[in-house]
Structure 1
């Protein structure tokens, strides 16, 4: 059971493109993690769908902590042709990017994957999912599995939803 990481990321990046951004950076945490791979694929899907800049320097996958996400964000902003928007692949990356953007004072839009405490207060647009729904579905699967141990394995893809707040537009 997983969340629809690819479509969620695609929708987040499309929101940035629809707000007028052409150079959108990606702040990921680990290129070996399945969720990051899927979210990066969703980023590329959206970039391709909207004909956006495919500059590989816009993609960073080294933001495993708040501090490294902030440093990665600042490195992206220090480029000769910096992004006007960022997609952060998880809540740590989003909060680290938000902190770096706030400190830099640069008008860069932001969308994060995973909602987190204070995202609403800070106005950060996120791709959200329901942990409660995941728990409910997992319990249901477990109970069905107990009843039929030899039954087929099920692949469950849980939906995500885009929660639009102010940050997907330029600050």
Structure 2
């Protein structure tokens, strides 16, 4: 009889769901904080709001709770190095490369992100190993390029991008 590990099976199944790669950012005492996340989805149009899931063990988790604001920076295929930077470097040094500016709520915004959703955190719910943050959108900043690069995706445990199917 074959014994399967439900955690491994779950992780394998979830790897089949394509997701946009984002950097979730906030600012605390003038210092930027952030993490890479793929667990972001829309919640409601009225008011415009999103759901962001963050592992409780992430250093930025408690900063998000403390500050009550966040920005979701959707990365493009040209931002693999941003992901590498956030993986390899800790603290505010993650923000030493690339151009960042401050959003209306005070969170760091990647200057050339595909889109940035600037949010106030309206709620937080327990999600076992994660917190489920509800973000009410206060501002949306789109890349000003008509030919903006495709967004960076995570699918099958690797980076990917999507392209339109021919009609």
Asked if Structure 1 and Structure 2 have the same fold, meaning a TM-score greater than 0.5 normalized by the shorter chain, the answer is no
> Which protein is richer in strand relative to its size?
2
Normalising by the residue count of structure 1, what TM-score does the alignment of the two structures yield? 0.27
TM-score where L is the length of structure 2: 0.27
